[in-house]
Amino acid sequence: MKKYDAIVVGSGHAGVEASLALARLGNKTLLTTLNLDSISFLACNPSIGGTAKGQLVSEIDALGGEMGKAADRNILQLRMLNTGKGVAVHSLRAQVDKHAYHADIKNVLEKQENLDIIQCEVVEILVENNKVLGVKTAFGETIFAKTVVICTGVYLESRIIIGEYTKDQGPNGFVNSHGLSKSLEKLGFEILRFKTGTPARVHNLSIDYSKFECQKGDEGIQTFSFLTKKQPKNVAVCYLGYTNEKTHEIIRKNLSRAPMYSGFIKGVGPRYCPSIEDKVVRFADKTRHQIFLEPEDKDGNEIYVQGFSSSMPYDVQEEMYKSVQGFENVKILRNAYAIEYDCISSLALLPTLESKKVENLFFAGQINGTSGYEEAAAQGIIAGINASNKLNKKEPLILRRDQAYIGVLIDDLVTKGTNEPYRMMTSRAEYRLLLRQDNADIRLTQIGRNVGLVDNYRYKVFQKKLKDIEKVKQEIETKLDVKIVKNLLIEKNEGYSSLPLTAKELLKRNNINIFDIKEKFGLFENINNNVLSYVETEIKYEGYLKRQEILISQMKKNEEIKLDKDFDYNNVKGLRIEARQKLNNFKPLTLGQASRISGVSPADISVLTVYITLLNKINKKG
């Protein structure tokens, strides 16, 4: 009889982070996978990061996760997105070698102490008295565990769709999962049907790159992991191109054959990552749409055509792709396809990602209705940490919305739910100026240390960074040579001041950055550029940051007001009927969480606050 502390079902990005967190925290862990070749496989885009997603990766890294380090080790090209906008939306994005990344993560898992890996299919979750006992495999084997984490990605009852053709399988031709959806449904989970898609892969040598715009990587910028010492080299370039009216006409002419318009596709697709046929219909006034050519690996010839996902029949795809300038002679190696799959309603979960229905059963990743590798990995590390904490009778880790994008992601899922594949965006984070790409380690490394995932080496690196920051903050108060200041102000077209200025006061001028000050005044010797950029941001945005901190202090008051999970909201006079129904159905843990439930208005929260205040006074007197 096999027994484990924890079983993680699924070896995608969520399953990897969950199993590593559990094993590294000392729990005997089993990771099951449908196919060893699909471990952390980048089945869609061969990239890590992106707008808001880059922040997630660095947050995973700061907590002690693996994705950021693995991405840095396998980078083909690294870029910082949105640099023309404010720092709140700067996000890292990297093209990575998808085959090397898979092999890298597989190697990390195989060497991890306390972790076993087995290729098998889990078909049933075993439960007794609403508490998980273990799993049953397709082989008929029963494996017992104190906790189970479900990270099945897009593999549950999945099918791929290309025009009129469909096949029961997972992404990239991998086998899918049968039976587990029914097991979850029997346990009372609401099963949803979602859809995502991927573009064609085309042959590198069949592309006329002279008709595309070259996009190179950025040099000397921060990496995903705060432990990466050596700046990764940009060994590949990407290209920007466009569809055209001819492309759009081909699509319009064949809409009757498009599965998403013929009714053949039943699943709900992602609003923020639509197929090309959806773009043409929804944005009929647009004469062109961007597409990006991205290499899948270092030595191969497969090119991923981002922005051109489709489920059109293969012959229509051929015509569509060849209508693009530069693709006149393009050869499709793998056709674009849509994929439908089962997932659960995330409203069935606590903020720890544990099920409300079954004790010690956790869920992470696309099974919870999200899209994207980064969202999955972020949930995975939190589910792994909380499964371990539950096993070892420790307090759960629940990141607030002001602490991390991970906190925003999970709070949105468990409080609001989602009726389409959820994608993290900077606009979802109300405190995004505090949740920047550059300060994820400042925000979360101590939390990772307290949890037990941040080892001594990482913590030493973190403490040195804190000391360097303090050193810069002290030096920034230095009074500067008036003559040099004058010349610098004239050089930068800034208004001249005859008063002596400190480096901090000078830095608040719009056209002057901290590197100008370093060069002209010889300050900040032996300080890392990332540290200097961090301090510069803190100073230039000081006023805005203080405003956000005031809002956060107000928000925390509501988060600190705990609500009884057995409380009957029908007893609260003044609450609207809809609010009573929503609150009784959801059972929020805090007043703050109650305020974010759809259908609960600010007026309802005011009524509830008064009621709780009076109730607390009565209880104190009693």
Q: What is the pLDDT of residues 198-212, one digit of tens each?
A: 999 999 999 999 999
**Beta carbons within 10 angstroms of residue 335's beta carbon:** 21
Q: What is the tens place of the pLDDT at every residue in 594-620? A: 989 888 888 888 888 888 888 777 776
Beta bridge partners of 191: 344
CA distance 81 to 98: 21
What is the predicted pLDDT for the residue at 267?
Answer: 76
Which has more confidence, 481 or 127?
127
What is the predicted pLDDT for the residue at 614?
Answer: 81
What is the predicted pLDDT for the residue at 222?
Answer: 94
CA distance 378 to 68: 11
- Domain 201-338 shares a fold with domain 561-621: no
CA distance 180 to 168: 15
Q: What is the tens place of the pLDDT at every residue in 334-361? A: 999 999 999 999 999 999 999 999 999 9
Looking at the predicted structure, is the pLDDT value of residue 249 above 90? yes
Q: Give me the DSSP letters along 151-195.
A: --TT-BT-EEEETTEEES--GGG---B-SHHHHHHHTTPPEEEEE
Q: Give the pLDDT band of residue 622 (cuts 50, 70, 90).
A: low
From its phi and psi, is residue 157 left (phi > 0), alpha (psi between -120 and 50) or beta?
left
2.30.30.110, 3.10.580.10, 3.40.50.970, 1.10.150.570: CATH of 561-621: 1.10.150.570
Q: Which helix (H) or strand (E) holds 337?
A: strand 337-344
Tokens 């007001």 locate to 561
Looking at the predicted structure, is the pLDDT value of residue 332 above 70? yes
CATH 1.10.150.20, applies to 201-338: no
Work out the percent of the chain whose per-residue pLDDT is above 70: 99
CB of 381 within 8 A of CB of 57? no
Looking at the predicted structure, is the pLDDT value of residue 401 above 90? yes
Domain ranges of the chain: 201-338, 470-542, 561-621
Q: What is the tens place of the pLDDT at every residue in 412-459? A: 999 999 999 999 999 999 999 999 999 999 999 999 999 999 999 999
Looking at the predicted structure, is the pLDDT value of residue 621 above 70? no
Mean predicted confidence (pLDDT) in 365-383 = 97
What is the predicted pLDDT for the residue at 333?
Answer: 98
Q: What is the 3-state secondary structure (H, E, C) of 535-583?
A: HHHHHHCHHHHHHHHHHHHHHHHHHHCECCCCCCHHHCCCCCHHHHHHH
What is the predicted pLDDT for the residue at 266?
Answer: 76
Mean predicted confidence (pLDDT) in 395-406 = 96
What is the predicted pLDDT for the residue at 446?
Answer: 98
Q: What is the tens place of the pLDDT at every residue in 154-188? A: 999 999 999 999 999 999 999 999 999 999 999 99
Specify the amino acid at residue 559. E
What is the predicted pLDDT for the residue at 495?
Answer: 81
What is the predicted pLDDT for the residue at 76?
Answer: 98
What is the predicted pLDDT for the residue at 560?
Answer: 84
Strand, coil or helix: 386: helix
CB of 181 within 8 A of CB of 156? yes
What is the predicted pLDDT for the residue at 5?
Answer: 98
Q: Give the pLDDT band of residue 551 (cuts 50, 70, 90).
A: confident
- What is the chain's mean pLDDT, rounded? 94
Mean predicted confidence (pLDDT) in 287-311 = 96
**Beta carbons within 10 angstroms of residue 285's beta carbon:** 4
CB of 506 within 8 A of CB of 517? yes
Work out the percent of the chain whose per-residue pLDDT is above 90: 81
What's the first-to-final CA gap in the chain, in angstroms?
53
Q: Give the pLDDT band of residue 558 (cuts 50, 70, 90).
A: confident
Angle between helices 440-451 and 53-63 in degrees, nearest 10: 40
Looking at the predicted structure, is the pLDDT value of residue 566 above 90? no
Q: What is the tens place of the pLDDT at every residue in 23-52? A: 999 999 999 999 999 999 999 999 999 999
What is the predicted pLDDT for the residue at 617?
Answer: 76
Residue 534 tokens, joined: 């961090």
CA distance 530 to 518: 14
Looking at the predicted structure, is the pLDDT value of residue 89 above 90? yes
What is the predicted pLDDT for the residue at 458?
Answer: 97
Which has more confidence, 265 or 487?
487
Q: What is the pTM of this model?
A: 0.94
Radius of gyration of the chain (CA): 26
